[in-house]
Structure formats: C-alpha cells, structure tokens
Chain A
Amino acid sequence: MTTLARRLGGVTQTRKSAVSTGASVPVVLALVGVAVFLVVGSLSSSIFAQQTVAGLAQGAIFGSLALALVLIYRATEVINFAQGELAMAMTYVGYQLTIWGLSYWLAFALTLVISFIVGVAIQLVVIRPVQHRSVIAVVIVTVGLFILIDGLVTWKWGADLKFMRAPFGNTVYHVGNVAFARQDLGVLLVSILSVILLGILFRFTKLGLAMRAAALRPAAASLVGVRVNWMLAIGWGLASVLGAVAGLMTEPSQFLQPTMMQPILLYAFAAAVLGGLESPVGAVIGGLAVGVFLNLTGQYVGFATSELRLPIAFAVLLIVLLVKPTGLFGRKQVRRV
C-alpha cells in the first residue's frame, strides 16, 4: 500500500483535492447559504419542509445514479446512456429473487453482487473493444445496450407494473405539521450509506487507490503493476451496483416497469453535470440539489408546470456547462487529452 502510494504519489496528489471535495470557497459559501435558506424555510412553513424532505429523498436517488455516471466517466471518460436501464434490469433481478422466496434485504444484497458481476462483464465484453476508439463509438454502444436491456427485460418480465414488498413499511411520522414518510427517510439513508461506503473504498483501500490511478494515469499505473483494464472493469461493476441501489430505492415509489429509470437518468445527468462530472461528492450534492430545486419550484413558481420540469432541469445543466463546465465541485481538467 505505502509503496504503491509513494510510487503513485504524483498521481494522487494532483487529484487528491478533487476527490475530496474540489469545491472552491464561493461554492462552499453558496452551499452553506442554500442550506441556511432551506432550514429557515422549513422552520417557517410546513409545506416548505415537506417539499424539502421529499426533494432530498428523490434527490438521493438522482445522486446515486449520478454517482454511477461519474464513476464511469472517471474510469472511461464516457457517459453511460444505459446506466438507468441497467439499474432497472437489476431491480427486476431483485424482484425475481424475492419471488423465489428470498427476504427483501437478502435479495437486495444478492442483487448488488449480481450487479457488480454484470457491470464488470459489460465492460469486458462490449466496452473494452471500443473504449480507445472514440467517445462517439462508446456512446453508441451504450445506446445499443439501452435498447437491448429494455428489450430483454420486457421480454422476460413484460411491461405491466410489478411490485415488491415495501422495504421500509408504510409508516408516516408526524413532527408538528410535517409528515415524514419512513420510506423517504429509508431511501435517503440507504443512498447516503452506499455513497459513504464507496467513498471509504476509494479513499482508504488499496483497491480504491489502484482504481483511481488506473482511471487518471493509466500508463503510470500499469508501470507500477496496476492491472488497468481490470480496474476499469471494476469501476463499471461498482457503477452498476450504485445503479442497482438507485433502482431498488426507486421501486417503492415508482414500482417496477421497464421505463421506471428513464426520467431518473435524465435528472441524474443534470445532477452529475451540476456537481462536476469528475466529482463523486459533487454528484451526490448535485442530486440532492436537483431534487429539492424541482420540488420547490413546482410548489412556488406558477409557470413551472409539470411539462417544464425537465426543460428547467436541463436549462440548469446547460447554464452550468456554459458558465462552469467543470461543475460546482470539479477542478480544471488536469488530464491531457
């Protein structure tokens, strides 16, 4: 570990701050301001508080999927358009396991394992051969995967709604006038927990270090004995796991259907760009921000009717891309292209 770390010193140091937060002072100040605004608003209005909490729960799901996108972006510099469909397919796997008699959480754990294997396999079989060709080639392969997975799932399970047992029960807690669904809190907790676990993996394990090295300086990493290709595949595996978490956490509110993750993926794009495509922390905060922003504009801005939610989210995305392409938490690209 230490020798590897020393030999990769140059690599990790240039990137370390980007991995930790990468946020500049104004960004941090702005975030603190937003947090204060949300707290004050929540204390003064119960509907504001409820919209905020629901937005956070929704945002945590956006964040998980956005984080999956970021992982893959960091590993292979592409956007995986099939990320949402993969998450959906893995949720169906979890559903099938519960049908076969497994308890919810056992099925949950097993689904994550299967997701990892599937993610690795996809990288090895279809992504690796085109990886070095061009962005367009990889994007098109992921689009092909999108269509393929969608077709396979509909073929196997059909397109009608399916339901899993509610993992968190249906209890509602009341604090004053504000109702908190146990389900929302559970979703928030599971999503945040998986992000923290992933953070620990990246920051404090040898595997995490090797993965970061493989993504950032493949040539240097392979010189010091990191099996770069395997690391990239593991990156896809972990992204697939995060996607499965997002899918399983979406199921209690949207239920199982082949289209369940498509809107979520679109918002996850916006979240990932907002946070900075290179920044895991940014993805999560970006997700939470998009979730809360959508709910509050829906409540208080009359013009923002339902059909405009998506254009609004993407307007945010476009503005971020133009004003600060690296997002809230991204650093200027250090990588040479």
Chain B
Amino acid sequence: MRRIPVAGATVGLLATLVIVLLHFGLSSYHQGLAARVAVYFIAILGLNILIGYTGQISIGHGAFMAIGGYTTAIMSADHHLNLIATLPLSFAITFACGLIVGLPALRLSGVYLALATFALAVSVPQFPLKFSKFTGGSNGMQTAQTPGNSWLYWVTWSCAGIGFVLAWLILRGRTGRAFRAVRDSALAAASSGVSLPIYKTLAFGISAAYAGVAGSLFVLVTNGFAQPNEFGVLLSLQLLIGAAVAGLGSLWGVLAGAAFIALLPTISASAPLVGSSHGQDVVFGLIVILIMLVLPNGVVGLLARLGQRRNA
C-alpha cells in the first residue's frame, strides 16, 4: 500500500514529462487532436468516478458537457469573461447541476438510473433551440476569442493533469473509501456510518463538474463554437464507451479510453480497408462490441492480466 504512491508519482512525473515534450514534437494539427484527447480524458475521468467508484450509471454526461460548454460560450461572448475564468464557473455550475440530478438519482439504480440520465442526454440539447435568444439556437454561439492549438494543448492538458491529481486525492482518501463502500455494499456502508445520500449525491456533483469543464474545453477546441448538434446523444454514448474501454474503477485506463473515442474515427477514416465513410461506424461499433467481449475489464484489465502472466 505504501509503495503505490511512489510508483504512482513516478508514473505521473513521467506522464507529465511526455506531455510536455510531446508539445514540441507535434504539429499544430496534431496538437489540436491531442487537445481533444485531453477533453475526453477529463470527461471520462469524471464518469469513471461515478460509475467505477460508486456504481451509479450515467448515460447523460453529454448533457453536463453541454451545460459547461454553453456556460463558456455565453460568458465569453456576452460578458467578455476571460476564457480560462469561465472554467471554474463551469465547474461550479455543473457541480450544482450534478447535485440536483444526484438527488432524484438516489431513488433510482441500474436500468432506471440509466434511463433517467439518458433522458437528460436527449433533452438538454433541445433547450438551446427553445431559448435561442440566449444561445443562438441552431446557429450556435461563438466565444469572443478563439485560441490556437498550442494554447489549447497546454490548457486542456493542464486541466487534465489537475483533474487527475484531484481525482486521485479524492479517491485515495476518506471520500474514496466511502464511495467504494457505497458501490460494494450499500448496506454495509450505511451501517458503518457512511451517509449514502451524501456520498452518492457528491459523486454525481463531482462527476458532473468534470464533464462541465470538459464541455467548456470541448467548445474551445471546436474553435470556440457551441451548437446543439455537438452535444447530441452520441456524445454521451461515446463517453460511456470510453469509460468501458478504460476499465471501470481505474484511473490509468482513462487515457486509453479517451484516445480511443477521440482518435479512432480519425484513424479508421483513413484506413484503406474501410474506404467508405460508413465503414467508420462499422469498425467503431465492431471494436466496441469486441472489447466488451474480449476485455471485460477494459485496457487496464488487459494490462493487469499481461502483468500477471509475466510474473507467473
């Protein structure tokens, strides 16, 4: 137990170094792609806290991304707030939204919670259309400044780093133990003095706040343009897929999950085998199913299994 922080810190330092060095090795275009990976990394990290650590499912995190994204767009376009300053605001607003959603979620679990959160994913993108006066409707909304790819790379990966450390601190401490207790046995958790309602709601809030910041950054990597189509149901489903690829309940796999959903469509589009644009969907769908069939615990599970084999 005591060795883990040391190993973790080493890996963390290495990861930081790689990210910093990578900035200088990548072209502007690839910096943009890497920034998208960071955005998904943050969102999946948040989703993983909810699903992997407290066992509550959400198919609605795209909705929180939409709320965060529109917060940034509106604050920048209409109130000329600095782009970076909109991030904590998104964090706070979506944290509150997460708590609000988390309260009714106390009564629901499993499939019912999946459906309720799915309802969010479907409904929230409709509101910018209804209230187009504030959101620009289908024509979307443009932030006052549009940062370049280098800026985006630094900001998104800094946020990803902060988010990761924060998640690690939360999960290794008392809160993390409480979360896991809630997941593994609600009854035992309650009897050992862990307040179920508080921790379940808290997990929703934290998780939504991560998605909110990811949503803000998502809008920034989309040239600062927020539009309802960006936050469709597919986004929520992609996050879920990313979390599954990552391996639920593990922080390190998140990078693989994020890279998977951010890069696979780009890669498979250029694969000669696939050719047709619809081939992308076929390949993506097939890989998702295969991963679930072959790698029940995601990439991390695979690594762990390989590790065991080597040790054996």
Contacts and interface: CB of A to CB of B under 8 A. Distances in A.
Nearest to B234: A147
Contact of B285 (A79, A129, A148): A148
Interface string B113-150: 01110111011001101100000000000000000000
A237 to B, nearest CB: 19
Contacts of A305: 130
B173 to A, nearest CB: 25
A126 B123 contact: no
B310 interface: no
Interface in B38-80: 51, 57, 59
Contacts of A141: 288-289, 292-293
Contacts of B278: 151-152, 154-155
A277 B279 contact: no
Contact of A73 (B111, B130, B237): B111
Contacts of A322: 104, 107-108
Interface string A242-269: 0000000000000000000000001001
A220 interface: no
B123 A148 contact: no
Interface string B84-112: 00000000000000000000100110111
Contact-residue bracket for chain B: 35 or more
Contacts of B241: 140, 143-144
Nearest to A155: B278
B248 interface: yes
A140 B293 contact: no
B129 to A, nearest CB: 4
Interface stretch (A16-24, A95-103, A227-235, A310-318): A310-318
B266 interface: no
A184 B160 CA distance: 53
Q: Is the interface of A mostly helix, strand, loop or mixed?
A: helix
Contact of B240 (A140, A151, A155, A308): A140
Most buried by A among B107, B126, B280: B126
Interface centre among B59, B126, B278 (most CB of A within 10 A): B278
B276 interface: yes
Given A151-B284, A152-B282, A130 B130 contact: no
A135 interface: yes
Interface string B229-267: 000000001001100100010000000000000000000
A164 interface: no
Interface string A151-162: 110110000000
Given A151-B280, A154-B278, A136 B244 contact: yes
Contacts of A269: 115, 118-119
B51 A136 contact: yes
A317 B59 CA distance: 15
B285 A307 contact: no
A145 B285 contact: yes
B12 interface: no
Tell me if B's interface is mostly helix, strand, loop or mixed. Answer: helix
B286 interface: yes
B270 to A, nearest CB: 16
B197 interface: no
Given A140-B288, A147-B284, A308-B126, A126 B115 contact: no
A137 B248 CA distance: 10
Contacts of B283: 151
Given A135-B114, A147-B284, A318 B122 contact: no
Contacts of B184: none
Interface in B275-312: 276, 278-289, 292-293, 296
A147 B237 CA distance: 10
A314 B119 contact: yes
Contact of A321 (B57, B108, B280): B108
| Among all A-B residue pairs, the 5 with the closest Cβ atoms | A151-B281, A148-B285, A144-B288, A147-B285, A314-B119
28 contacts: A130-B292, A135-B57, A137-B244, A139-B59, A139-B240, A141-B288, A141-B289, A143-B237, A143-B241, A146-B237, A148-B281, A148-B284, A150-B281, A152-B278, A154-B278, A154-B281, A155-B276, A155-B279, A269-B115, A269-B118, A307-B126, A311-B123, A314-B119, A314-B123, A318-B119, A321-B107, A321-B108, A322-B104
Given A137-B292, A314-B119, A317-B115, 18 more contacts: A133-B296, A137-B244, A139-B57, A139-B114, A141-B288, A143-B241, A147-B285, A148-B281, A151-B280, A151-B282, A269-B118, A273-B115, A307-B129, A321-B104, A321-B107, A321-B108, A322-B104, A322-B107
